[in-house]
A = this chain, B = another copy of it.
Amino acid sequence: MDNLNDEEIYNDRNRIEPFVKAITRNKHLFKDKIVLDLNSGMGLLSILASQSGAKQVIAMKANNYASEIIKQNNIQNITLYKEKIREVELNCKIDIIIADWMGNMLIYGGCIQDVIYARDKYLNKDGFIMPDKGQLYIQSIEDSQYKKMKINFWDSVYGVNMKWMKQWIAKEPLLESIKEEQLNSDEQLIYEINLQNCQLEDLSFSNQYQIKIKRQDYATGIIVWMKYSFTYTHLPIHVIMGPTKSPFWKPVILYFREEIPVNKGDKLQGSLAVKFESEELLQIKLSVHMQQYNYVSYFKLN
């Protein structure tokens, strides 16, 4: 039998409620439509789509419980597949794709590739994806105490010298939330993706930033956090996985090589480049420059 941790997913309201709202409060979108649910699990979203008026729902990656749950809800128009979308051949076009495609930093560990595949192969010209847009924002942070603790840990691990690890630790992005008071700049949009027309190559990018420092402080690094949106709904639904809460997808912290002393009004400039190589690997290049500080650092998300 399948693992029952769907309950945990359903309990993760930050993650599931926007989908529920996008479906149940937008019945006008679903009326007589053909819907593809890319990761149906127990079938919750497929059932809600059917109840919202869909003519047919095609549910991929269904688990062993889905069939009986659908039966008990007296629903006849859901076609269940245990397979992933690439493993089957559908014989119809789709009006709406529902997909929980997001991962860390929007694209890492998610299934955006499957959405692009399904869209190009099956989506009708006036069809749409839920959610259809994603953004990454960056801000600078002061995090020296935690950084030091994290790095100095390796000086002596139960008496064993593991200093050599320090260089790697500094190159490892952290997946962690921070405290509000650690943010010391404004936020800036650094990347945006539109699922309706993006291509695989759009998952790699290199974009400039210029963030404005809010107070006299040190900038230890930057934090990258995400938003995603359902914009085809009657009222757009924006989901913010911000820098300070601990939502399902944690923000990513990238440290500069040195702490940079900054003053209110300073502008920290640089670029953030992400190379999306496969489902397994993400390479990140972060540059920063300000007065005499001019670094380029490389990170890998493992």
11 cross-chain CB contacts under 8 A: A4-B302, A7-B169, A11-B153, A16-B158, A47-B160, A51-B160, A65-B164, A65-B165, A65-B168, A69-B162, A72-B161
* Per-position binary interface string of chain A over residues 1-35, scored 1 when its CB falls under 8 Å from any chain B CB and 0 otherwise: 11110010011000011001000100000000000
Chain A residues numbered 252-270 whose CB sits less than 8 Å from any CB in chain B:
none
Q: Which residue of B lies closest to A5 (CB)?
A: B302
A158-B20, A302-B3 known; A69-B165 Cβ under 8 A: yes
User: 13 other contacts beyond A1-B300, A4-B169, with CB at 8 A cut-off?
Assistant: A4-B168, A4-B172, A4-B302, A11-B153, A24-B159, A44-B157, A44-B160, A51-B160, A65-B164, A69-B160, A69-B165, A72-B161, A73-B161
Q: Which residue of B lies closest to A171 (CB)?
A: B1
The one of B2, B48, B69, B159 in contact with A48, judged by C-beta atoms closer than 8 angstroms, is B159
The one of B1, B10, B157 in contact with A302, judged by C-beta atoms closer than 8 angstroms, is B1
Residues of A contacting B: mostly: helix
Judge whether B157 and A10 touch: CB under 8 Å. Answer: yes
Q: Which residue of B lies closest to A13 (CB)?
A: B158
In angstroms, Cα B163 to Cα A10, docked, is 14
- Asked whether any CB of chain B lies closer than 8 Å to the CB of A277, the reply is no
A-side residues, CB < 8 A to B, are: 1-4, 7, 10-11, 16-17, 20, 24, 42, 44, 47-48, 51, 65, 68-69, 72-73, 150, 153-154, 157-165, 168-169, 172, 300, 302
